Every structure is written in C-alpha cells, then in structure tokens.
A and B are shown apart, each in its own frame.
Chain A
Amino acid sequence: MGSFDLSEIFYNVDSGYLEGLIRGFKNGILRQEDYRHLTQCDTLEDLKLHLQGTDYGNFLANEPSPLTVSVIDDKLREKLVAEFEYIRNHSYKELGVFLDFIKYSYMIDNIILLITGTLHQRQLSELLTKCHPLGTFDQMETVTIATNTADLYNAILVDSPLAPFFKECISEEDLNEMNIEIIRNTLYKAYLEAFYDWCKEKGGATADVMCEILAFEADRRSIIITINSFGTELTKEDRAKLYPRRGKLYPDGLIELARADDYETVKRIAEYYADYRPLFDGTGNGPGDKTLEDKFFEHEVTFSTTLLSYIYWAMAFL
C-alpha cells in the first residue's frame, strides 16, 4: 500500500472469484460451538445428523447407513481434494505455482511411501490406496521399479515436478531404509528451500506469512532430525546436510546442532531462541506428558491461525 501499484487494479480480474470462494470455505469451517455440540454425539449417526446443519451437510448424505470412521475420512479427503483441485484449476499465474508447491510436499510423501512399501514387498494396489490424492502425478506408480536413486531420478522423476529437488540425493547406492530416510529429508530440504526462496521473491503478504511458516517448518525439521539421529549410524556430516537452511536457526543454530550429541545439547541450543524455548519446557515421554512433536504441532497451529487472521485483516484493508 502507499506506493502506486498497478497490479492491484487487476486483482479482482485474476483472483477475485477465488478470493470469494476461499472466504466462503473459511466461513464453512466448523466453529467452536459446533465442536461443543459434536462432543455430545454418541454415535457416528449423531455426528452425521449434526453436520447436516453445517457446510459439511452433504458430503455424507449418499453413504449407506452403518458409517465407519474410514468412510468419513475418505469423504472428507475427497471434499478437500475436490475443492483444492477446483481452486488450482481456476488459479492464475503465481497462485498456480504456489498451489503446486503445496502439492509437492504430498508428492514427496507419496514417493517415499511407495518406495518403502516396495522394499517391504507390499502390493502396489494396496499402497496406492494409502497415497494422498493431492500428491499424485503421472509417473508416480512406476517408482517401484527403481532399485537405486540414480535409477529413480533418471528413469522416472526426471519428468516430474520434483526433479529439481532431487538433484542432491542422486547416488548409485541401493535403496534401503536409511537411504530412503535420507532421500526424504533431502527432498524436503530442497523443497522447503525452493518454496521459501520463491515466497521471498514474491514479497508482500506472501513473503510475510509463508516465510514465517516455512522457516518454522525448516527449524522443526532440523531439530527433529537431530534428535532422531542420536543412536543411528548417520554421521554428523551427513546429518548437517539434511538441515533446511532457511529457518531462524540458520546459520549459527544449525552449526551448533550439527555438533550436538544428546538431547540436552539440543535443548540448550533451542533456549537461545525465544520461539522455541517454551516448546522444550515440560516435555517428556511419560504417559501424561506432551511429546516435543505435540508441542511443535500445537505451536504450528496457534501461529498459523494468527497468521491466517492476519491475512484476512490485511485483505480487509486492501
């Protein structure tokens, strides 16, 4: 705002329809009150009946009566995917790229799932049902033929949108558990860095909001990777390569993390950062305690909500 920006003039031409749509979707999200009612439900039928009064009214209408959790889950996912694809198909220029970025993370998950599944001699058809439909792409189902990463890249992924992220993890080694974990994390790292840089380049509200979220995601991954690597055969050098270098921990925190040997050290490093210190307080592995991952998740949700309301606030003043 302030400066004369021509791009705002065409805002409604490019995104007006989608913005209306999104606002509608946002209003359709269940409210606190709905959740309070849902807690009183005894059976899934009750749940269905209650949902009929909300925006989720019709997604279960055509299901025969004995409902199961998996049916609800499937239908909800179907609804999400349909809405997402609709928005993606109507999006324009940068918004399309942005939404594709969101899909990439699902693609990474799907590839890893398929490779792991094949390693464990699972049937392809069984694996496919577990793949997230947002992350499907043409060549996805053929990843099972690859036996090493070079193969995987050269034969299959070179055409897929994930190719640019894959460059760092090409090696002739055969695929095994350890390797797959490394591939997953390297892919994620490349993906996060690319997404972050793209958002930064776009500037504006995109950068303000998304960089925050992505930086947090990067830091969380770094910390979790470090903690999980204790007691495995992963070397410290290899581990350092897996850290996404875009978060608040970069560069000092990551150097420290690379040297860390135990949980206490990680905790000490995190204490230098105001955002992460509270997350380490009061965590534990006891039955009543929250794990660190829970805490991270909680933190993500609260600050994503804050950012979301920031977006709507900003839009109102545009």
Chain B
Amino acid sequence: MSAEAIFPPASSVASCLRPKTRVYSSLQEQSLIGIDLHETVKWLLNISNFTMGSLYRSEEMCLAQLYLQSEAAFACVSELGELGLVQFRDLNPNVNAFLRKFVHDVRRCDEMERKLRFLERELNKDNIPVDDDGDVPLAPLPREMIELEGKFEKLESDMKEVNGNQEALRKNFLELSELKQILKKTQGFFEEATMYQTEHTGFAPELEEDSSRAGDLSRGPFTKLGFVAGVILREKMLAFERVLWRACRGNVFLRHAEMEVPLVDPYTGDKVNKCVFIIFFQGDQLKNRVKKICEGFRATLYPCPESPQERREIAVGVTTRLEDLQTVLNQTEDHRRIVLSQVAHNIRVWFIKVRKIKAIYDTLNLFNVNIAEKCLIAECWCPVADLEKIQGALRHATETSGSSVPSILQVMKSDESPPTYNRTNAFTYGFETLIDAFGVANYREVNPTPFTIISFPFLFAVMFGDLGHGFLMLMFSLYMLYYQRYFLRNKTDNEIWEMMFGGRYLILLMGLFSMYTGFLYNECFSISVNVFGSAWNVSADPGWDTEYLKSQTSLMVDPGKPGVFRGSTLPYPNSTGNPYPYGIDPIWQLASNKITFLNSYKMKGAVILGFVQMMFGLILALNNHLYFKNYLSLFCEWIPQIIFLLCVIGYLVILIFYKWAVWSAADSSQAPSLLIGLINMFMFTAPSQTADTVVFSGQAGLQQGLQIFIVLLAVFCIPWMLFTKPVIIYYRNKQKQATAGYGEVHTSVNGISDRADILAHDELNINHESELDSSSESEKHEEEEFEMGQFMIIQVIHTIEYCLSCISHTASYLRLWALSLAHSELSQVLWTMVMSIGLKEPGALGVVMSFLLFWVFSSLTVGILLIMEGLSAFLHALRLHWVEFQSKFYKGEGYMFSPFSFHVIVEGKSEE
C-alpha cells in the first residue's frame, strides 16, 4: 500500500492539517526579505489576548492514559510522532533495556541502520552525492519493514560481493603493475652492471636469477651473485636499508629507485608510494636472511629473470595482462557505480524510515503491556488544547491499521507538576532560549519571554546607543534574514555562527533599538547630527562679537543669559524658542563638560528604567499570586515588598522627575542634590538649604515629615515580610494537625518539597507514601517542627535578600549608564585618535592618510565597538534580565516538555 493510500487526503483530521501547514510555508516563501511576516503577525495577535497558545503562560497540560490495541499501537505511535504533541512517560523504569518487549524489533532496526551506514560509507568512498529532495516519508508499517530488511540485506551482500571482486582484481592489478615497475627499473640497474662489466672485464660477477630456482647457486660459489628484486613502501625504505646492512654485516648490495606513480592499495583504496629495490648477495645463508628481512618489512618479492631478453618477454606479457585487467576493473567499477547510484537516490529516505521505525519501537518499549486484554497502556503528557488533534490522530491510526476496537485516550488526574510547554515560532524562539538558559519556567508561571522581546533589546540599546553602530548591526541581521532559507538548509558545525543565527531576530531588534537610542543620544559613530537645529544661540550675548569669538579658544555659554538658550530670534537654526525637540542637543558635542552633563542625565535615566522594570516584575509577581490563588504570599510578601520598593526607590524616582520639572536651565545652580538628600533621609537629618537638600522649597518641615514617614513605613515592612507568613503557616498547620490528623499535612508538604520523583512511576510514589504513612506519628511531628525551622530560615534569607536587593539592584541598573558612557567614549576616542587625524591633514597626503586610516578605523569599529562592546552590552542586558528583573517573580524550576516528535528525530538533533 502506498503512502497516498494510507492517507487519503482530507479524510481525517490529521491529514487535514498537513495541507494547511504547506500553505503556511508557501506564505513564508513569498514574504518580503525573508522575515516571517506571517509569524510576526501571528505572534502579535497572540500577545494581544493573553489566552491559550501565547507565551504569557505555558500551555495547559494534562496527563493522559492511552489504551492502544496491540495491532494498532504501531500506527498510533507513528501518527503521534508525526504530530509531535505528546511526551510519553517510561512505565517500566525498573526494566532493563534488553528485557523490554520490543527489543527484538529495535535490534532489527539497529541492524538495518548498520547496513545503511555501510552503504553510506561506500557512497562516500566513491564521492557519490546523496540525493536530497527534502521529502520526508511517513513511517512505514511493520510489514513494509520486512520488505526493507530484505532490500538492505540484498544490497549489502551485492555490495560486499562487488567489493570482494574489486579487491581481488585490484590486488592482481597491483601485483602486475609492481612487476612491471620492477622490470622497468631493474633494467637500469642491469645496464649499469653491464657497463661496469665492460669496464672491468674478468672481475665482473655473473648475475644469476634467484627466487624460483635457488639450487643452482652451488655452481660457482664465489663468482656468482644471487639477487632478489621487490617492492617496498617508501617510508620503510630507510629502516629496511639499515637493518639489511646490520643484519648482513654489509655483505649485500642494495639498489633502489622510487616509483613515479603512486599505486592504489587494494584494501583501502588509498594511494601509496612505493620503492623498487634489488639486492645482490652471495651464498645461501645470506639469501635466507635477506628474504626474512624482506618478509619482516612486508616487502613483496617478484621473480625477475636475468637476461634482458627474458625480461622483455615478461614485460610484454605483463603489459597485455594489465590492459585486460584494466578493462575488467573498469567494468566492475561501472557495475558498482550503478548499484551505488541506486542507493544514493534512496538512502536518505531509507534512513528516515528506519529511524522512524526505531523511534516507534523505542517508544513502545516505554509502555505497559497488558497481555490479557491484548492492549498496550501508555501514559503521556499532552497540551489540553491539542487533545482533539491527538484523538483524531488515534482514530485515524486505528482506521488505517484495520483494528476493530478503537484506541482510547483518557485524561487522568495527577499531583505531579506537568512539564512546561511554550509554543514558539522562528521569531520568539531566540528569546525563549535566553529565558530557558536561566531556568525553565514552572508550570503555568508567568513567562518573561514576551516582555523580554522588547525590554531586552531596549536595555541593550541603552548601553549600545549609536546610530551608526546600530545601523551596521541592523544590516548584519538583515543579511542573515535575507539568506535565512539558505542558512537553515546548510547547517554548519560552527557553534558561534549557529548561536548568532539562532538569535537573528534578537539582533534585528537590538540593531533597531540601538539606532533609536543612538538617535536619542545624538551619536552616529560618536558624531552628533544637527537634525532639528540647536536651541542654543551663542550670538545672543551682546559682548560676544566675531572678533571676541575668534580670540577665545573656549567659551562659557550661560543659559541664564536671555536669548542664549531657547531664545533664538533667528529663523535658523531653531526659531521655535523650544528646546531641541528630540534627544540631546548637538551643541553638546562641542562642549567640554559634555560628559558631566550626560552622566547626570544617563544615571537618572538608568535609575528610572531600573525602577520601572523592577516594578513591572513585581506586578507580574502579583499576577502569579492571583493566578495560583496564593493569597498568603500576596498579603504577607507581595504588599510589603511593593511598599518597600516604592518607599525606597519610588520616592527617589519621583524626586528625579520633580527636579527635572521644577528647575529650569536658568536656575539649575540652585537645584538640590538628590543623592545627599536621600542619604540624609535615611539618617533622619532635617533637610536644609545649606546642604542643598530642600526639594520642596519653602516647605522643609513638611518634607522632613514626609521623609520620616516613608522611612518608618519601609522599616515597618521588614518584620511584615519576615514574620507574618511563617507564623500563619505555623498556626494553620497546628489547626490541621488538631483536626485532620497527619496524613494530609504530610502529603501537602511532600508536594512542595518532593520534586525528584517527577519521572518515576506512580507505583513508586505509592510505595513511597505508604512507607511514610506506616512510620510512627511522633516521628512525623518532629519532622513537622523541623520543617517549620527550615521554613523560617528560608523566609529570613528571602527577606534580607529582598531588602538588600532593592538597593543593590537599583545600583546594578547604573551599569546602563556606565556601559553607555564607555561605549560613547570608546567610539569618540576611535574617531579623534584615528579617523580625524587623516581628515585634518591637508592636501594629497590627507587623501592618502584618510584612505589608509579609514581601514584601521572601520576594522577597529567592527572588532572593538561592534563585537566586543556588543557582547559586553549583551551580557549586561542578560544579567539585568536574569538577576534584577526575573528575581522579582520568576522561579524557573520547571522542566521542559519534550514531545515525541519525528521532526526532531529525523533531524538528528537528539540521538537517544
């Protein structure tokens, strides 16, 4: 039965889904510059209503029990694998891998995989590319498996036979070509010998053929020399020569010559370099010795006749035989190629099929087998929203397998905490990974990912604010997005690249936000751009005429003087009389106190941003408490926490805004010092004009009263956080013990602390609990007391941590200012010390220097500012999210939902 027959289109729920996904992917292809518009829109729709399927809370999960008819089980699991929405639990954790039911089938799959790997190696040996048409076949049915097995078996034996033949032929070929080489090379040796002979007649020894006829050496003991000729690996030649010399005490004469053409090793197919040698010696004993040494060095000896005529004859014979052999070899090669090209066409599909079957059997091994009712029982976690899809898949599988009894899915109740499942898409995936790297969210806990999508690039950009650098980053991310289909198909092993590519949408947003903050800071490669026209007017000062301005190197521009600031009467630059409309006035680029001005501005900005983010974190915590109906924590922890934060930092933030609003540029010299004011507030020092701490001018008394109230309120929150919750829990426990006995209390405590058994089987839990129940009551009571002590200690730690963290986390947000300062300073240094040198130089030299320095400037910009600074800003933004933001509400102690999905298995992401 073909795949179409098994899955008639639009006949069932499961197959209905498939065409839809195809439409969706074609939409993707059409979208502009490859950005998944569709995905983004979908995500935006999701985030607008915090319902199911959004990232706000993880998917609602349920534990379900499946009763699968044994004949339908395979098809069911196959369908579920295609769906990829259920996570099976191991119901036989105590059974060894090799004692499970379907071990035999798994082994068959192993064997098939081995054969496929063998064929793949053969393909690689011949450099035949594997056809990849991107087609992913469905898992075949068990009866097809037998067919596949037979096919592979046949192919393997065919291949082995071809290989064997080829090896034998190649070996023959090698021997013949070696012999040919010997005949050719020895020719040279013998010619030399005859020349020698003619020169010294009477002394020259008569050469005699050896090898096959050893006996005739006795004819002339001193005048006749024996010889052997052979071939040896080039790298062994030196050692061979040396051993030969030593072992025969210099009584042999060796000549050797290198073969020009490397030969092919018949077994491995590699090219090997060899040497031809000929050894002359005298006497039988030496001959044996030489032969043994040759054997020891794995040299091959060949018979070589003495007379030139015989040699020529043999040579001719060898050449013709070589030619014949070559044709035969070519034929086998062609045959092999035909077999392999067949394999190359199908091997990818086969691999996928076999892997799918193996995955199915591995999954079936997790199930309980009920022999009496001929069914398999499985337990799995699945998203509640997808129950219908799963049931549809099961129905479909039952139909196709022809089973009469339907497979049943039954939702179970479970005390275990379910896995966390957040549906992501290409856009949100990168952000979700950042959060999961810290810790997987608890089940149904507020997930910081949707907020991180905006806040992370923004905090990054605050530290990385530069229009030019942001633009380069944006271009890089657009490059990745434009070619993303290509990159997705061609995976590399480069982990750093994979990481960057995975975060391509993150980099896109980081680039965009950096451009935005760069615009705010008015910095483009550290240079300000005068977009709207500066609000400062230097010529407003009557004393400053052109002559005076020329004579001075630096001037103090006082905003207090009328007309200098916001007082421009000229049509240009800024005739509105308003401050610079957006961002920093470009005039600050020229000011010597630019850093002092920006420091104060950015520091305050950092504190405000920090306060806002931490407050937001607390609001999310409120959401958590309300959702989990944890009113105890809400009233005993959350309310004092938020009061504390508002009192300590919130007051400061209000003061910052107040100061900005009340004191203008003209009277800024009388503005109060907020830092000293804050310190004095905690020391209960009265605000005074002399210390510059009066914020509400003329109402110092009222200010002091307010501040004392705020501090006392904050201090009051500490015992509130510390004691109320443990005390209430203690009394509740006492009450329960008095009324309901011990068992229930114990399990509830167990539910909190006992998380290790999540994957264990239910039976284990039952055993565990019954054991505990049987233990004596007094013991339990002691345990309860102990738990109380521990609880108190934890509460103390949490309280201290929270109070300190309000201060330290706010201080920590100052890194926003510090890094932004460092970034702008570095880029300014790069500009003034490198690029502007070239630009300042006049004439032709200036042109050349500018050209050369540009390369230095640009490479340093990319290397230091973009990559290094970018990484550091990234890490700090990450820290601000992980530590400062998430500590307010995020537990991150859940575990990931890892569904059984063919998609993952086929891609080879997780090899079991």
* Residues of chain A at the chain B interface (Cβ within 8 Å): 37, 40-41, 45-46, 49-50, 52-53, 61-65, 124, 138-139, 141-145, 151, 154-156, 158-159
Contact = CB atoms under 8 A, between A and B. Distances in A.
Nearest to B115: A64
A40 B247 contact: no
B296 A50 contact: no
B118 A62 contact: yes
B393 to A, nearest CB: 30
Given A62-B114, A145-B293, A40 B239 contact: no
A50 to B, nearest CB: 6
> Which of A53, A124, A139 neighbours the largest number of chain B CB atoms within 10 Å of its CB?
A139
B289 interface: yes
Given A61-B114, A139-B296, A159-B243, 18 more contacts: A40-B98, A41-B98, A52-B97, A53-B97, A62-B114, A62-B118, A64-B114, A65-B111, A141-B296, A142-B243, A142-B247, A142-B296, A142-B297, A143-B296, A144-B292, A145-B293, A154-B246, A159-B242
Contacts of A139: 239, 243, 296
B114 A159 contact: no
Nearest to A146: B247
Contact of A145 (B98, B296, B298): B296
A138 B292 contact: no
Given A124-B295, A142-B296, A144-B296, A155 B99 contact: no
Contacts of B700: none
B236 interface: yes
A155 B298 contact: no
A158 B246 contact: yes
B98 A142 contact: no
A107 to B, nearest CB: 15
B803 interface: no
B792 to A, nearest CB: 35
Interface in B96-124: 96-99, 103, 106-107, 110-111, 114, 117-118
Contact of B98 (A49, A141, A144): A49
A138 B232 CA distance: 13
Given A45-B107, A61-B114, A62-B114, A37 B96 contact: yes
Interface string B282-315: 0000000100110111100000000000000000
Contacts of B243: 139, 142, 155-156, 159
Interface in B605-620: none
A50 B295 contact: no
Size range of the chain B interface in the assembly? 20 to 34
Nearest to A41: B98
A141 B97 contact: no
B247 A156 contact: yes
Nearest to B288: A145
Interface in B109-163: 110-111, 114, 117-118
Interface of B: 96-99, 103, 106-107, 110-111, 114, 117-118, 236, 239, 242-243, 246-247, 289, 292-293, 295-298
Interface majority SS on A: helix, strand, loop or mixed?
A: helix
A192 B755 CA distance: 55
A50 B97 contact: yes
A-B pairs, 3 with minimum CB distance:
A142-B296, A155-B247, A141-B296
Contacts of B298: 141
A62 B239 CA distance: 36
Given A142-B296, A144-B296, A158-B246, A50 B98 contact: yes
10 contacts: A40-B96, A46-B98, A49-B107, A61-B117, A65-B111, A145-B289, A156-B243, A156-B246, A158-B246, A159-B243
Given A62-B117, A139-B243, A40 B99 contact: yes
> Which of B98, B114, B117, B297 neighbours the largest number of chain A CB atoms within 10 Å of its CB?
B98
A139 B292 CA distance: 12
B242 A142 contact: no
B358 to A, nearest CB: 12
Contacts of A50: 96-98
Contacts of A63: 114
> Which of B103, B106, B118, B243 neighbours the largest number of chain A CB atoms within 10 Å of its CB?
B243
A214 B774 CA distance: 56
A38 to B, nearest CB: 10
A41 B98 CA distance: 8
A40 B95 CA distance: 11
A156 B409 CA distance: 77
B254 to A, nearest CB: 15
B281 to A, nearest CB: 14
A138 B110 CA distance: 39
B292 A145 contact: yes
Contacts of A142: 243, 247, 292-293, 296-297
B296 A124 contact: yes
Contacts of B110: 61
Nearest to A53: B97
Contacts of B114: 61-64
Contacts of B239: 138-139, 159
A258 B117 CA distance: 61
A145 B118 contact: no
Contacts of B289: 145
A46 B96 CA distance: 10
B748 to A, nearest CB: 34
Contacts of A65: 111
Nearest to A63: B114
B829 to A, nearest CB: 32
A145 B289 CA distance: 6
B294 to A, nearest CB: 9
Contacts of B236: 138
A113 to B, nearest CB: 15
A45 B117 CA distance: 19
A86 to B, nearest CB: 19
Nearest to B121: A62
B492 to A, nearest CB: 23
Nearest to A64: B114
Contact of A141 (B99, B118, B297): B297
Nearest to A140: B296
Contacts of B246: 154-156, 158
A69 B647 CA distance: 76
A145 B247 contact: yes
Contacts of B97: 49-50, 52-53
Nearest to B156: A64
B372 to A, nearest CB: 26
A70 B97 CA distance: 24
Contacts of A158: 246
Nearest to A160: B239
A222 B57 CA distance: 74
Nearest to A145: B292
Nearest to A142: B296
Contacts of A155: 243, 246-247
Contacts of B99: 40
> Which of A37, A49, A52, A62 neighbours the largest number of chain B CB atoms within 10 Å of its CB?
A49
